[in-house]
Amino acid sequence: MGAYHNPVLLKESIDALAIVPNGVYVDVTFGGGGHSREVLSRLGPDGKLFAFDQDPDAKRNCLEDERFVLIEENFRYISRFLRFYGVGKVNGVLGDLGVSSHQFNEAERGFSTRFDAALDMRMNKKNILSAFEVVNTYSEEHLSNVLFQYGELRNSRAMASKISEERKKGKIVTSFKLKEVLRQFLPKAKEHKLLAQIFQAIRIEVNQEIEALKEFLLQIPDLLDVGGRLSVISYHSLEDRLVKRFIRNGLFEGEAEKDLYGNIDVPLKSVGKMIVPSKEEIELNNRARSAKLRVAVLNKD
């Protein structure tokens, strides 16, 4: 069996935090613990690392280190749970967004297009909403919007119409059944890419990933201490666009207001250019191919 999750851009993302040995850091996507281990290796005895992961499976990888605390919650609640531990400010926050290798490789979780599994896709198994509900109970218009917004599928209306038509005959229960229903939209040359977009759209809706990311980013300026850093790895354009815009404008849409002198007051300041994995890393870990790392520092005196 392979590793739970191979950490992407490991050195680059941790270097970006410019770790202070006695600082307080947060890994909001703990997963297999690869990034957290690297952070701990750079912290001194008085340093502290908090990690978040809403997937109960991640608890198996909990690190036995008195400087480490795993919080089994969605990172959208980062400030609330850090306050519970008496933490108001931190020196750095790391996020490796998206689905872990473990989640993709566990057939019964329903994340992968490779397996015939129940339509699930919940990162937090306690959540009520699953892929089954999205596919079988959403109105045709709502389903079309999900496929268009989160999968960037141009023929989302036709796909939603086909799903709506088919589910009148019986529930669409498995991932392979969904593929079968949408077969006419999957030309051989583009089948894998289009299926990935369809599954991505449903998964993002199930887990409210865009809403969670926005809520998380909005808390960062108040959470970071002076000189504190944000290091975020994203895997698709929807996430990367949000991270990029928030760092640049402090907003997710539109442009920041300028003062009389043409200056804008934004909470974060970009550090360096976007970083992507090397060819060598992509050869070793194919999942790294779409990764983009953006880094920011608190833009306050």
Name the strand (E) or helix (H) holding 166.
helix 156-167
Cβ atoms of 269 and 293 closer than 8 Å:
no
Tokens of residue 100, six digits: 């872990």
Tokens of residue 156, six digits: 């989302």
User: What CA–CA distance (Å, rounded) separates 284 from 290?
Assistant: 14
Express each pLDDT in 185-234 by its tens digit. 999 999 999 999 999 999 999 999 999 999 999 999 999 999 999 999 99
C-alpha count within 13 angstroms, C-beta hemisphere, residue 280:
1
User: What CA–CA distance (Å, rounded) separates 293 from 96?
Assistant: 9
pLDDT computed for residue 300 by the predictor: 67
Percent of the chain scored above 90 by pLDDT?
A: 77
Q: Which residue has the higher pLDDT, 16 or 98?
A: 16
Residue 151 CB partners (closer than 8 Å, separation 6+): 197, 198, 200, 201, 202
Parallel, antiparallel, or unpaired for β 292-298 and 224-234? antiparallel
User: What CA–CA distance (Å, rounded) separates 59 from 221?
Assistant: 28
- Start-to-end CA span in the chain (Å): 49
Express each pLDDT in 39-89 by its tens digit. 999 999 999 999 999 988 888 889 999 999 999 999 999 999 999 999 999
3: phi then psi, degrees, rounded to nearest 5: -65, 150
Report the 10 Å Cβ neighbour count for 136.
17
Query: Could you identify the residue written with the tokens 């599928």?
Result: 153
Task: Please report the domains of the chain, with CATH numbers, ordered by start residue.
Answer: 10-101+210-298 (3.40.50.150), 107-207 (1.10.150.170)
| pTM of the complete model | 0.91
